[in-house]
Amino acid sequence: MDRQPDATARLLEAAARGKLPAGFDRWELADICGWTVAHVAATHGTLPAGFDRWELADRNGVTVAHVAAAYGNLPPDFDQWELEDASGRTVAHVAAARGKLPPDFDLWELADTYGWTVAHEAAKMGKLPASFDLWEMADTYGWTVAHEAAANGTLPAGFDRWEIDDWAGWTVAQAAAEHGKLPAGFDRWELVR
């Protein structure tokens, strides 16, 4: 009778509770679904200080860093924002989507495999910081961060750059109007062609 599954299940439970033995180094041990001890620990915020196996991926290509980013469990000194999962999505994109980027994050131009920047992801989700000012940054297709925020209704109050054009000459005002996201009191109708 194979006792390995029971042993792995106990390790996964210990990882979830932060009760792995000191010096544990078998982070790649996985359950039958491919979820590793490291992934469980990343989910629960129980990875030890100095953990350095961020690139370890489950069978679907999701890294430990991506899981930690999704749950807000990356350490303050994390610096592998460009690490991609199997789909080409970076750790920074996951953190941006969840509103879990650190306050001093400045790699807004970091793009995934398809040219979608971290700034675009944060704009889509309404997670850009109040100090953000790179509204003209465009993705591979010429769609600016301002256009993405306008289309999703996440532009900050007082936004006044309605004239920014995308690659086709479409203004931010047009993007907002097309998606029914123009703010009350909008008065720059000459930009809505």
Would you state the pLDDT for residue 6?
79
**pTM of this prediction?**
0.88
Give domain 1-107's CATH superfamily.
Ankyrin repeat-containing domain (1.25.40.20)
- How do residues 150-181 score in pLDDT, each as one tens digit? 999 999 999 999 999 999 999 999 999 999 99
Show the 3-state SS of the chain: CCCHHHHHHHHHHHHHHCCCCCCCCCCCCECCCCCEHHHHHHHHCCCCCCCCCCCCECCCCCEHHHHHHHCCCCCCCCCCCCCECCCCCEHHHHHHHCCCCCCCCCCCCCECCCCCEHHHHHHHHCCCCCCCCCCCCECCCCCEHHHHHHHHCCCCCCCCCCCCECCCCCEHHHHHHHCCCCCCCCCCHHHCC
- How do residues 52-88 score in pLDDT, each as one tens digit? 999 999 999 999 999 999 999 999 999 999 999 999 9
Q: Where are the domains of the chain?
A: 1-107, 129-193
